[in-house]
């Protein structure tokens, strides 16, 4: 295969890889807002679930406290019923002290139950706010995604077509040349080719010897840039 033809394949391959790089970059940055909105919606959903779980816990806690209160009240009624039948003063005093502490226990339980109720009110409000925030976050995500959806689809199609034509080009190249290109590209930010504009390497902006430029421009040599090691081509080969 003529060197000139190989240089022109390299030029083409370099263009395709630059384009692929740009498209892949765009694919990452374009849906950034939608991705952020999605992650915010996920956070909101986690917050909502946590509040729901907390609310459930409080419900159980309050049911438990109410049950204990009922039991203690039942006990108090028994003590009080006994008090009517007691004659001895000492026995009576002991019983009264029992009743006193029983009442205190009930009052403590009721206070705790009230605290739980207040906490429940707060959680209920927090949960309502979290549900609103979640709905808003989901709406925002839908909006942001719908803004970029068609562009993203077009981008995927463009990438697929470009990847296919790159594949075809690489198959038409000499395997050793393609391998050399790939090796350089893997070490040079995905670009294994540099275009010379006059004597300046457009990839690293350094000046190559005029002799090298002339030979590349005439399509005589396959050479690397002495500075960035990329394979050198020119836009108008053999002009």
**Would you say 119 or 199 has its CB closer to Zn ion?**
199
**Would you say 194 or 217 has its CB closer to Zn ion?**
194
Q: What is the DSSP string of the chain?
A: --HHHHHHHHHHHHHHHHHHHHHHHHHHHTTHHHHHHHHHHHHHHHHHHHHHHHHHHHHHHHHHHHHHHHHHHHHHHHHHHHHHH---HHHHHHHHHHHHHHHHHHHHHHHHHHHHHHHHHHHHHHHHHHHHHHHHHHHHHHHHHHHHHHHHHHHHHHHHHHHHHHHHHHHHS-HHHHHHHHHHHHHTTT--EEEEETTEETTT-PBPPHHHHHHHHTT----B-TTT-PEEEESSTT-
Q: Closest separation between CB of residue 176 and Zn ion, Å?
A: 22
**Would you say 109 or 228 has its CB closer to Zn ion?**
228
**Would you say 13 or 225 has its CB closer to Zn ion?**
225
Q: Closest separation between CB of residue 226 and Zn ion, Å?
A: 8
Q: Closest separation between CB of residue 229 and Zn ion, Å?
A: 7
**Would you say 66 or 223 has its CB closer to Zn ion?**
223
> Can you give the binding site for Zn ion, defined by CB under 5 A?
194, 201, 203-204, 225, 227-228
Q: Closest separation between CB of residue 6 and Zn ion, Å?
A: 19
Q: Closest separation between CB of residue 149 and Zn ion, Å?
A: 40
């Amino acid at each position: 295969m003529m060197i000139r033809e190989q240089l022109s394949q390299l030029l083409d391959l370099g263009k395709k890889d630059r384009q692929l790089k740009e498209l892949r970059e765009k694919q990452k940055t374009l849906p950034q807002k939608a991705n952020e909105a999605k992650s915010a919606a996920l956070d909101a959903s986690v917050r909502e679930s946590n509040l729901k779980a907390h609310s459930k816990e409080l419900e159980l806690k309050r049911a438990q406290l109410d049950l204990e209160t009922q039991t203690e009240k039942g006990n108090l009624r028994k003590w009080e019923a006994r008090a009517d039948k007691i004659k001895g003063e000492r026995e009576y005093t002991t019983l009264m002290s029992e009743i006193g502490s029983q009442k205190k226990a009930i009052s403590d339980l009721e206070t705790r139950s009230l605290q739980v109720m207040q906490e429940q009110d707060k959680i209920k409000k927090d949960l309502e706010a979290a549900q609103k925030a979640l709905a808003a976050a989901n709406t925002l995500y839908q909006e942001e995604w719908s803004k970029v959806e068609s562009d993203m689809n077009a981008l995927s199609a463009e990438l697929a077509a470009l990847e296919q034509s790159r594949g075809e080009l690489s198959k038409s190249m000499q395997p050793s040349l393609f391998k050399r290109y790939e090796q350089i590209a893997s070490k040079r930010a995905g670009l294994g080719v540099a275009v010379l504009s006059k004597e300046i390497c457009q990839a690293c902006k350094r000046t190559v010897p005029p002799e090298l430029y002339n030979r590349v421009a005439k399509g005589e040599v396959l050479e690397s840039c002495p500075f960035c090691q990329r394979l050198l081509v020119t836009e108008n080969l053999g002009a």
